Amino acid sequence: MSTLHVLSHSPFGDERLTSCLRLLGSADALLLSGDAVYALQPGTAPFIALESRKVKLFVLAEDAQARAVQVPDWAEAIDYPAFVELSIHHDKVNSWL
């Protein structure tokens, strides 16, 4: 059983990203949206944690572009229709509100 975890809050304001990474299973995926895309700022603790964990990472391209954040080659930038496809592909969707 797989879960799509959706984060939309900045990783610099609380521990949601850290908690999420602890719970991610091998079949799970993580989608960064909204201010959560700031986790992809190179050299930061969230960036290093994501890169080292080798998670299946997706990023809403529109949100990354709006915040001038580059999506690294080990993550996949997607649009809203692809987000819907990811939601259907996984057994559960967990939004970290």
pLDDT digits (tens, 9 = 90+) for 2-52: 999 999 999 999 999 999 999 999 999 999 999 999 999 999 999 999 999
Average pLDDT over residues 49-60: 95
Concatenate the DSSP letters of all residues of 10-25 into one string: -TTTSSHHHHHHHH--
Structure tokens at 20: 């999420």
Could you give the CA distance from residue 3 to residue 31 in angstroms, rounded to a whole number?
11
Inter-residue contact 69 to 62 (CB < 8 Å): no
Q: Does residue 61 carry a pLDDT above 90? A: yes
- If DSSP codes are grouped into helix, strand and coil, which group holds residue 76? strand
pLDDT at residue 54, as a whole number = 86
